[in-house]
Structures are given as structure tokens and as C-alpha cells.
Amino acid sequence: MYTQSQQALLDQFNALRSWEDRYRTIMRLGKTLPRIDDSLRVDEALLHGCESKVWFHARKHQQGVELTVDSDAKIVKGLISIIVSAYQDLSTAQIAKFDCENFLIELGLLNHLSPSRGNGIKAIIQAIKDTAQE
């Protein structure tokens, strides 16, 4: 069972016929992700394992995890937007149980990424799960 945000993403991507349509949608979603403040674009916030620069800030609170994530690559920004939406409104227990990699496969995305880009996405997902478990 998926949240409303997750189901909306599934519906949106399942309606697309080709990888090119999915790619355009990812790029469009990347434009909706706010650019983080330059003061947060510090080396300490860079995630290792990502092909592109990905700045990751997360804060655990009673309701879940607040995510502030950005990248210097447009396609990665789009994928981040999808991941952040998928984790939106989840409790820390739900974050621990949610299989985001499988969700990205269901969206028809993970199997189209290069191995290094896929590893970067897995690093983002792991960082979210690690924050939720702190």
C-alpha cells in the first residue's frame, strides 16, 4: 500500500509510454526542487558514492525526517525530487520499511540508470534511512 504522494507518482509514470517521456518528466520534476542555499553547499554535506555532487541535509523530528537535498546535475535533481516525494509524510518506522529501490523500479526508472548513477541513488536512500534510525 502506498501513500497518496507515492501513488500519484506511480500513476504519473505508469501513464508514460517511453523512457524519453519518463526522462522529460524527471527533468521537469527537477526544476521543481528548490536550490539549497549556498551556505548549505559545503563539502561536509556531499554524499559519497554519487557520480554528481549531491548535498544532503536531513533532520529527524517526531513526525519523520525533514530533507533538504540538491545536486548539480539536472537528472539527479529530478530523481531527488521523486525520492523526497516518496518519503514525504512517512514516520521513521515507515521510512525504515519503505523499499524505495523497488518503488523506483515500479516507476520504470532504476533499470534505465547507469550503474554509477544507480549507486548514487542508493546512497541517497541509505542516507535517508540512516537519518531515520538515528
Catalytic site positions: 50
Q: Phi first, then psi: what are they for 15, rounded to 5°?
A: -80, -15
Q: Which three cell numbers stand for residue 132?
A: 531515520
Spatial distance between the Cα atoms of 13 and 108, rounded to a whole number of angstroms: 7
